[in-house]
Structure 1
Amino acid sequence: MDSQTVHPAPPDIRQGTGSDFAQLSRKVADAGLMGRRPGYYAARIASVAALYVGGWVAFVLVGDSWWTLAVAAFLAVVFGQVALLAHDVAHRQVFRLRKASERTGRIAGNAGIGMGYGWWQDKHTRHHANPNHEELDPDLIPDVLVWSRNQAHASTGLPRLLGRYQAFLFFPLLTLEGFNLHLSGVRSLADRSLKNRVAEGSMLFAHFAVYLGALLLVLPPGMALAFLAVHQCLFGVYLGSIFAPNHKGMPILTGDDRPDFLRRQVLTSRNVRGGWFTDVALGGLNYQIEHHLFPSMPSPHLRKAQVIVRRHCQELGVDYLETSLITSYRQALASLHHAGAPIRQPVPA
């Protein structure tokens, strides 16, 4: 079978006791997996920074040539790796002190790739607290797509227009995700509760000015527009392809559906099988279950933690899902198609 579970029949998602996670936490701590990895992150930050600088040097050297679109594709992947680093920084996996984490996160997010770090961190924190909860997870807001049949029944406007064929439109729509991140970061600056608004805004607009200025300085207008489109669209597809396998197609909670912490995280998450290439390409988020249980665990420890977590879930009779990357996309798209079914049904005369 392509999907691997450790329990054939998932238990009721509401059952369980809080002590189950405490027992697991002790096992993980005893294995030394919560310890920091400064050497690993120093090497990773240096590698990504070198690729980032090297990409822009290549952009200048290639200059007025259509080969610049290959550089755009390369930089799309590098931008995705910067986003993954910002993710680890936000979860306090890299630095012990909060100030160091926040400063590095803003430099990587706002200045590096034009993503509003403060806005994203707040959104992502709320997602971790209530993954796949229809009312509480900001990643399930039906702003463009509908994620459940309840949302489909209540949909209007764009979600209703797209919902009929949303499974087929999902990956094409990801080409807009990079632009959406930029726009959301700018819009968040209007929120007075956003911390360090001045610093966030200054870095964001400095990124946009330098980025667009470089394109127009090195390339003719038409080629600059093509570079921007290829770079930003592939960046969005890469980001979406990283995050889509994690929760889409997994159980969706509603209302008072709030199981204990361990089950809330495990039963709504999916792991993706693979070797070192998958670990690098997905930034360790292929171990989504372990990441959600222990968000501050350094990403290189997640593979080792998986053995402990999977065995613990098996002992408890808690369903633990792990699939191939292709199967995860298939399940996510099937879920989207299922969610949009009410929109496809003909309206009674």
Structure 2
Amino acid sequence: MNEIRATGPARASSGVKREGPSEFTGLAQIIRDSGLLRRRYGYYWAKLIAAPVVLGLCLTAFVWIGDTWWQMFTAAVLGIVLTQIAFLGHDAAHRQIFVSGKWNDWACLVIGDLLVGMSYGWWQHKHTRHHANPNKLGADPDIELPVIVVTAEAAAVPRPAVISWLRSHQGLFFFPILLLEGISLHASGVRRVFVREHLNRRWVEIGFIGIRLIGYGVLVFFVLSPGVAVAFLAVQLGVFGFYMGASFAPNHKGMPIVPRDMTLDFLHRQVTMSRNIRGSRVLDTVMGGLNYQIEHHLFPSMPRPHLRAAAPMIAAYCREHDIPYTQTGLFTSYAIIVRYINRVGLGERDVFTCPLVDQRRHLTAGG
């Protein structure tokens, strides 16, 4: 019910208030007074210490088990562990761990480049643009996907018959394609590190990524026979990519798309285009806090363990100001995503039109 209320065209006539930045100022004051922006050093230091220890234990077990097809289970576990470590890097990139920007940067370099094998500089550039304008055409790189189309604008570009057929059925392929996300993340980061000379700490990233990717590959092929090694890497990267994609996809996919020429105030821009996922503290851990996407977009530097406490406060504030606040279950969000991208692929032009766009058109017509 919350999902329909937040994204359906019927929302256009409800009279969304547009009081400008003062609305967010009031909310920011409430959050500051609550103490939810304070650092959680104990929580994060425990994770920073645990990350290399757990990864080291996984690699030790890998060497001890040896050349056997049972290593596919090790590969799956390693994919999960690396995703959880990547979530920690996400927190550091948003300055959630330390006050010092330099400390957060170096934490990201070690976590992202050295442990996970993803370029921090590439990801930071891409993710910063996404946070500034979520779901906005021409501004958010996360809606400019190479395979799946999530906007009517991209779907309208003429394609060969085979591509058109695939896109009209793209909902069926969405989750299988996520198995390739791990390869894509590594490849995109490596490409940017070697091509963009102006990247901050470029040589540090090249060194860390080189140690991680080359060293890891040598270890895998040293311990396993070639066939088993290739299968091991495929399973590990597949689990890593699927887990990452399945955690990030519910946040904005299937939410309103903002036109290129439309400007929204910060509060409406971040809340209306984001979706929260209801669940227990177990889900909070599984999704790395990404299930509180609204809170995260409004207060990116808020430590992950505080997001759960902030959610009901922000939801209440949005209700008072008549701002759509979307919450749904995890599997419901996946169903919404599949239905949405299928509609886009079929060329429907009105997929989940932004309610604020509808309101503006309504007021213009009335005037």
After TM superposition, is the score higher than 0.5?
A: yes
Q: Which residue of 1 aligns with 2:361?
A: none
Q: Which residue of 1 aligns with 2:183?
A: 179
Q: What amino acid does structure 2 have at the position aligned with 1:106?
A: L
Runs of 4+ in 1 over 6 A off after TM superposition: 4-8
Q: Which residue of 2 aligns with 1:220?
A: 225
Q: Which residue of 2 aligns with 1:36?
A: 39
Q: What is the CA–CA distance in structure 1 between the aligned matches of 2:237 and 2:89, rounded to whole Å?
A: 18
User: Would you say 1:138 and 2:141 are equivalent positions?
Assistant: yes
1:259 CA drift (Å): 1.1
Q: What is the CA–CA distance in structure 2 between the aligned matches of 1:122 and 1:243, rounded to whole Å?
A: 17
Report if aligned partners of 2:6, 2:272 keep a CA contact under 8 Å in 1. Answer: no
> What is the percent sequence identity of the aligned residues?
42
Q: Which residue of 1 aligns with 2:249?
A: 244
Report if aligned partners of 2:17, 2:323 keep a CA contact under 8 Å in 1. Answer: no
- How do residues 1-349 of structure 1 correspond to structure 2 at under 5 angstroms? 3=3, 9=11, 15-156=18-159, 160=164, 162-189=166-193, 190-342=195-347
Q: What amino acid does structure 2 have at the position aligned with 1:171?
A: F
Q: What is the CA–CA distance in structure 2 between the aligned matches of 1:302 and 1:148, rounded to whole Å?
A: 30
1:3 CA drift (Å): 4.9
CA displacement, residues 101-134 of structure 1 (integer Å, 9 cap, x when unaligned): 1111011111111101100011000000000112
Gaps of 5+ in 2: 349-367
1:248 CA drift (Å): 0.3
1:213 CA drift (Å): 0.5
Q: What is the CA–CA distance in structure 2 between the aligned matches of 1:31 and 1:14, rounded to whole Å?
A: 25
51-60 or 40-49, which deviates more: 40-49
Report if aligned partners of 2:156, 2:347 keep a CA contact under 8 Å in 1. Answer: yes
The alignment partner of 2:327 has SS state of strand
CA displacement, residues 258-292 of structure 1 (integer Å, 9 cap, x when unaligned): 21100000000000011111000101110000000
CA displacement, residues 60-117 of structure 1 (integer Å, 9 cap, x when unaligned): 1111121111010000000101110000000000011111111110111111111011
The alignment partner of 1:64 has SS state of coil
Q: What is the CA–CA distance in structure 1 between the aligned matches of 2:165 and 2:66, rounded to whole Å?
A: 41
Report if aligned partners of 2:16, 2:322 keep a CA contact under 8 Å in 1. Answer: no
1:4 CA drift (Å): 8.7
Report if aligned partners of 1:313, 1:319 keep a CA contact under 8 Å in 2. Answer: yes
Q: What is the CA–CA distance in structure 1 between the aligned matches of 2:126 and 2:206, rounded to whole Å?
A: 18
Q: What is the CA–CA distance in structure 1 between the aligned matches of 2:6 and 2:251, rounded to whole Å?
A: 18
Q: What amino acid does structure 1 have at the position aligned with 2:76?
A: A
User: Do the aligned partners of residues 31 and 14 (structure 1) sit closer, same or farther apart at CA in structure 2, a change above 3 Å counting?
Assistant: closer
Report if aligned partners of 2:178, 2:245 keep a CA contact under 8 Å in 1. Answer: yes
Q: What amino acid does structure 2 have at the position aligned with 1:123?
A: K
1:51 CA drift (Å): 1.9
Gaps of 5+ in 1: 344-349
Q: Normalising to structure 2: TM-score of the pair?
A: 0.89
User: Do the aligned partners of residues 321 and 101 (structure 1) sit closer, same or farther apart at CA in structure 2, a change above 3 Å counting?
Assistant: same
Q: What is the CA–CA distance in structure 2 between the aligned matches of 1:325 and 1:153, rounded to whole Å?
A: 30
Q: What is the CA–CA distance in structure 2 between the aligned matches of 1:147 and 1:304, rounded to whole Å?
A: 32
Q: What amino acid does structure 2 have at the position aligned with 1:320?
A: Y
User: Pairwise CA RMSD of aligned residues?
Assistant: 2.0
Query: What count of residue pairs does the alignment treat as equivalent?
Result: 343
Q: What is the CA–CA distance in structure 2 between the aligned matches of 1:108 and 1:46, rounded to whole Å?
A: 11
1:163 CA drift (Å): 1.5
The alignment partner of 2:347 has SS state of helix
1:194 CA drift (Å): 1.3
1:323 CA drift (Å): 0.5
User: Do the aligned partners of residues 145 and 12 (structure 1) sit closer, same or farther apart at CA in structure 2, a change above 3 Å counting?
Assistant: farther
The alignment partner of 1:154 has SS state of coil
133-142 or 122-131, which deviates more: 133-142
Q: What is the CA–CA distance in structure 2 between the aligned matches of 1:162 and 1:82, rounded to whole Å?
A: 34
